[in-house]
Structure 1
Amino acid sequence: MLTDDFGREVSGVRVSLTDRCNFDCVYCHNEGLGDTRGPMEPQDDELSADRIVRFLEVAREFGVDAVKFTGGEPMLREDLEEIIRRSPDDMEVSMTTNGTFLPGRAPDLVDAGLERVNISQDAMDADAFAELTQSGAYDRVIEGVEAALDAGLAPVKLNMVVFEPTAGYIPDMVDHVAETDGLQLQLIEYMPELAGHPEWAIDIARVHEWLEDRADHVETREMHDRRRYWVGSSEPPVGADATSLAASDGGVQSAEPPTGPEMTGRGMVEIVDPVENPTFCANCHRVRLTHDGYLKGCLNRNDDLRTIGETKASMREAFRETVDNRVPYYGEYMVRDEDGDWMVNETYLDVEGDRDPYEYSERDDQAE
Structure 2
Amino acid sequence: MAEFPKRVDIMTTARCNLTCPYCWGPEHSIKDGLNLDQWFVLIASLRNKGATDLCVTGGEPLLREDVGSLMLATCALGFRVTLSTNCLLLPEQLTLSVNVLNYIHEIGIPIDGSSAIVNGLLRIGNTGSFDAALAALALIRSDYPSIQTTVRTVVTQQNQGDIPNIGRLLTQNRPDRWKLYEFTPIGYGLLNHAQMAIDTSRFTDIVAAAQAEFPDLNIEPQYSSRQSEKYLFVGPGGDFYAIGRNMEYVPLGNPLEIGERVIANIVRYFPQSK
| Structure with the higher fraction of residues in helix conformation | 2
1:61-100 paired onto structure 2 within 5 Å: 61-87=48-74, 88-100=76-88
Question: Aligned pair in 2 of structure 1 residues 281, 144: CA closer, same or farther (>3 Å)?
Answer: same
1:136-285 paired onto structure 2 within 5 Å: 136-137=127-128, 138-149=130-141, 150-194=143-187, 195=189, 196-199=191-194, 200-215=196-211, 231-233=214-216, 267-275=217-225, 281=228, 284=230
Which structure carries more relative contact order (alpha carbon 8 Å, separation 6+)? 2
Provide TM-score, normalisation by structure 1.
0.63
Whether the 8 Å contact between 1:99 and 1:145 is mirrored in structure 2 is no
Whether the 8 Å contact between 1:10 and 1:287 is mirrored in structure 2 is yes
> What is the Cα deviation at residue 210 of structure 1?
4.1
> What is the Cα deviation at residue 37 of structure 1?
5.5
Partner of 1:324: 268
Question: Aligned pair in 2 of structure 1 residues 324, 210: CA closer, same or farther (>3 Å)?
Answer: closer
Identity, % of aligned pairs?
A: 20
- Once residues 303 and 207 of structure 1 are traced to their aligned partners in structure 2, the CA distance between those partners, rounded to angstroms, is 26
Whether the 8 Å contact between 1:177 and 1:184 is mirrored in structure 2 is no
- Once residues 134 and 56 of structure 2 are traced to their aligned partners in structure 1, the CA distance between those partners, rounded to angstroms, is 21
> What is the Cα deviation at residue 213 of structure 1?
4.5
Q: Gaps spanning 5+ residues in structure 1: where?
A: 4-8, 217-229, 234-266, 329-368
Provide TM-score, normalisation by structure 2.
0.83
Which secondary structure state, in structure 1, belongs to the residue aligned with residue 158 of structure 2? helix
Which secondary structure state, in structure 1, belongs to the residue aligned with residue 17 of structure 2? coil
Question: Aligned pair in 2 of structure 1 residues 324, 50: CA closer, same or farther (>3 Å)?
Answer: same
Whether the 8 Å contact between 1:117 and 1:153 is mirrored in structure 2 is no
Which of the pair has more CA radius of gyration? Answer: 1
Question: Aligned pair in 2 of structure 1 residues 303, 98: CA closer, same or farther (>3 Å)?
Answer: same
- Once residues 53 and 197 of structure 1 are traced to their aligned partners in structure 2, the CA distance between those partners, rounded to angstroms, is 36
Q: Deviations over 1:13-57 (max 9, x none)?
A: 11000000001112222x234xx267xxxx5x5211211121111
Q: Gaps spanning 5+ residues in structure 2: where?
A: none
Q: Deviations over 1:288-334 (max 9, x none)?
A: 10011111132743442412217xxx543322223324599xxxxxx
> What is the Cα deviation at residue 168 of structure 1?
1.7
Partner of 2:119: 129
Question: Aligned pair in 2 of structure 1 residues 89, 131: CA closer, same or farther (>3 Å)?
Answer: same
Partner of 1:110: 101
- The alignment of Structure 1 onto Structure 2 pairs a total of residues equal to 260
Amino acid at match of 2:11: S
